[in-house]
Amino acid sequence: MRACPKCKTNEYNNRSFVLMINECGHSLCKNCVENLFVRNSGPCPTCGRTLKKNDFWRQMFDDPLIEKENHFRKKLRQVYNLREDDFPSLREYNDYLERFEQLVWNLANDENVEETQLEVKRFASERLDVIERNRKRLGPDEIWVQSCLDDERRFRERLTMDIESQELTNASGPGAKGADARAIIEELKTSDLPAEVILDRQRKRQIEANLLEKEQEAKRKKTRVHDKKHQEVTTFGPLRKSGQPFVYHPVDLVLNGPALPEMFDLEACGYLRHMRPSTTAQVAGGFPTETGCYRALVESRSDLLVF
Ligand SMILES: [Zn+2]
Ligand SMILES: [Zn+2]
């Protein structure tokens, strides 16, 4: 169970219990961190190492060592970000990876901490250019994510284009507004009638066409409802119209293996030949030789055939 070593609160007696941890690997609850590190830095109550309040992070793993290792691994990754193609051979790359693991282990287990930190500093200054370049470069995972995002964007663009072209073809189809407008303009150009009359006539035609369409739509709906009703009625008919009636035959599954001999047949079958005979007291207590033999037989099969 997670508990704060300082104030002894835990997840059960405090609902808002949050455990924090710092580089030294000693946990503290959030309240204790707030109280002990009011001035932003102070000694760890367990080991006395000077810690900063801002360096505390939320402890996710129960084992503080894993938290510590994770922390240092992330920290070192900032500097140790070299790739395989930064090395002349695979062998040297593998050596580099192994060295990295060793450094993480050293820091997490407090072994040769000063030397390790010096080595990291030296590495950072020696390889400054490569490290800076790799920070800006995308890793193989990031490249993959980027390509997935690009694919998705292209797919969306194509879809929008398809929809737009579909809408365009629909709009220019027969009976559409565009065609109506063109017809009116044509009539205005050629006819001798005043413009208002032509427009009124056009409006009338439009209203009539709308009414007709509505009527037809209502009719279609009616027939659809009627069809549906008809279908529902027919589903109540007999499901099987012809053929032999179904007869159920129970399936005989042989799952338990061959039957055991009866308790009274054990002697006749020779099972008791290898059994230690029960003493008189045991028989008087209700345990004849057959009982033990029968139990042994049942147990010998229980793991094989009974699931
Ligand atoms: Zn506490
Ligand atoms: Zn500590």
| Count of positions (residues) in the chain | 307
Main-chain dihedrals φ then ψ at residue 113, nearest 5 degrees? -60, -45
228 falls in which pLDDT band (50, 70, 90)?
low
What is the Å distance from ligand 1's center to 1 Cα?
14
Convert the pLDDT of each residue in 281-302 to its tens digit.
999 999 999 998 999 888 887 7
pLDDT of 269 > 80? The answer is yes
pLDDT at 117: 92
pLDDT at 18: 92
What is the Å distance from ligand 1's center to 3 Cα?
8
Query: If you average pLDDT over residues 109-137, what whole number do you get?
Result: 90
Least distant ligand from the CA of 46:
2
Convert the pLDDT of each residue in 41-68 to its tens digit.
889 999 988 999 999 999 999 899 999 9
What is the Å distance from ligand 1's center to 65 Cα?
19
Least distant ligand from the CA of 6:
1
167 falls in which pLDDT band (50, 70, 90)?
confident
Count CB atoms within 10 A of the CB of residue 139: 11
217 to each of 40, 113, 173, how far by Cα in Å?
A: 75, 83, 19
